[in-house]
Amino acid sequence: MQPEDKRHPPGAPAPQPVNEWAAAEENAVRWLQWLGHGTAQRSRSGADGGIDVTGTDVAAQVKWYGTAVGVRSVRELVGAATGLPVRVYFLCNAGFTRDAIAYADRVNVALFRFSPADGSISPLNSAAEQAYASAVQRHTRPTVEATSAASQFRAFYRETARDASGPTGPASKAAVIVALVPVGMCLAGALVVILARKTGGGPNWLGNAWAAWMTVACLGVLPAVVIAAVIQGRKTPPVRGSSAAGISHPDPQEP
Tell me, yes or no, whether 87 and 163 share the same domain: no
Task: Count Cβ atoms within 10 A of the Cβ of residue 75 and give its class: 0-12 exposed, 13-18 middle, 19 or more buried.
Answer: middle
pTM of the predicted model over 0.75? no
pLDDT at residue 36 is higher than 70? yes
Same domain, 77 and 194: no
Residue 252's pLDDT band, with cuts at 50, 70 and 90, is very low
Identify the pLDDT of residue 129.
Answer: 97
20 and 132 together in one domain = yes
Domain-embedded: residue 76: yes
Cβ atoms within 10 Å, residue 113: 19
Range of the domain at 229: 159-233
- Clarify whether residues 20 and 53 are in a common domain: yes
Query: For residue 92, what pLDDT band results from cuts at 50, 70 and 90?
Result: very high
**Amino acid, single-letter form, for residue 141:** R
pLDDT value of residue 247 = 41
Percent of the chain with pLDDT strictly greater than 90: 46
Residue 102 counted as domain residue: yes
199 in the same domain as 102: no
Of 27-41, 86-100, 213-227, 233-247, the poorest mean pLDDT is in 233-247
Phi, psi of 245, deg, nearest 5: -80, -5
* Domains in the chain, number: 2
Residue 253 lies inside a defined structural domain of this protein: no
Which residue stretches of 115-203 are H helix? 126-165, 170-198
**Residues 100 and 176 grouped into a single domain:** no
Q: How confident is the model at residue 143 (pLDDT cuts 50, 70, 90)?
A: low
- Say yes or no: 215 and 93 in one domain: no
Highest mean pLDDT among 15-19, 195-199, 250-254: 15-19
Residue 254, pLDDT score: 43
Average pLDDT of the residues of the chain: 77
Per-residue confidence at 170, pLDDT binned at 50, 70, 90? low
Tens-place pLDDT, residues 68-84: 999 999 999 999 999 99
In a domain, 41, yes or no: yes
Is 181 part of a structural domain of the chain?
Answer: yes
Confidence band of 41 (pLDDT split at 50, 70, 90): very high
CATH number of residue 75's parent domain: 3.40.1350.10
In a domain, 251, yes or no: no
Q: Is 128 found in the same domain as 188?
A: no
Residues 91 and 24 in one domain: yes
Q: What is the pLDDT of residue 239?
A: 46
Phi, psi (5° rounding) for residue 89?
Answer: -130, 155
Residue 38 inside a domain? The answer is yes
Same domain, 118 and 170: no
Note the pLDDT of residue 224: 64
Do 207 and 197 form a contact (C-beta atoms < 8 A)? no
Q: Residue 184 and residue 178: Cα distance in Å, rounded?
A: 10
User: How confident is the model at residue 241, as a pLDDT?
Assistant: 44
Q: CA triplet 206, 208, 209: central angle to 5 degrees?
A: 65
Is residue 167 situated within a structural domain? Answer: yes
Average pLDDT, stretch 134-146?
75
Contact 100, 73 (CB under 8 A): yes
Contact (CB, 8 A) for 91 and 114: yes
